[in-house]
Amino acid sequence: NAGVTQTPKFQVLKTGQSMTLQCAQDMNHEYMSWYRQDPGMGLRLIHYSVGAGITDQGEVPNGYNVSRSTTEDFPLRLLSAAPSQTSVYFCASSPREGTEAFFGQGTRLTVV
Amino acid sequence: AQKVTQAQTEISVVEKEDVTLDCVYETRDTTYYLFWYKQPPSGELVFLIRRNSFDEQNEISGRYSWNFQKSTSSFNFTITASQVVDSAVYFCALSERNKAAGNKLTFGGGTRVLVKP
């Protein structure tokens, strides 16, 4: 059972570079979301999706884009990386509201 | 806007002691869901428990128990007879009962629990 798969696990970027964090789930879940985790601040929502073709902004969306062309995939794009985007990123999926969210293993991103 | 507060940033106990983690939340929704997640040193997020706002029955599951009090907007979590493997960061989280909200979670800042042998 793969669950939620994130790639890469680690990444170092230079300021101004762009990249895409990949997230895929094989549980046919409608809902997917991206969070970032910074020390002492818990996890904060970046973007979320309630189904293919539908996305919306979370608490901290600036500097990130998402798309949801299929149920399975929900990539997160960093348009022009900044040191403030150094964080651990988690992708999650869930079948419906009020249910357990299944998280990927996380991507540790460092922007220098 | 929703808010979750975990006032305890770090708790240190000796093995076999009980540990209670506090969680206070704010929401204007009348129906919502509360969760506890565990993040061990390896970094993954592990689901522990879930509670509906309309069910205030408190339960025990193995060494875990929780105390949900809607009147005080609190959802506290207790580990009984702690073990070294319980050392982790514990997060309290809240979500709306609204399909358009996509099960998005509002997390507290986390409480680091250190269980010493």
Residues A41-60 pLDDT 10s: 789 999 999 999 999 999 99
Interface contact flag, B43 A45, Cβ < 8 Å: no
Q: Which two tokens stand for residue B68?
A: 């949900």
B60 contacts: CB under 8 Å, gap ≥ 6? none
Candidates A49, A50, A100; nearest CB to B50? A100
What pLDDT shows up at residue B1? 81
What pLDDT shows up at residue A1? 66
Gap between the Cα atoms of A26 and A84, Å rounded = 31
Q: Is A14 on the interface with B (CB under 8 A)?
A: no
What pLDDT shows up at residue A24? 98
Gap between the Cα atoms of B84 and B74, Å rounded = 26
A·B CB contacts under 8 A: 72
Chain A residues touching B98 at Cβ < 8 A: 97
Residues A83-93 pLDDT 10s: 999 999 999 99
Burial B22-39 (b: 16+ CB within 10 A, else e): bbbbebeeeebbbbbbbb
Instruction: Kindly indicate the confidence band of residue B30, based on its pLDDT and cuts at 50, 70 and 90.
Output: confident
Chain A residues touching B97 at Cβ < 8 A: 97-98
A79 contacts: CB under 8 Å, gap ≥ 6? A18, A63, A64, A65
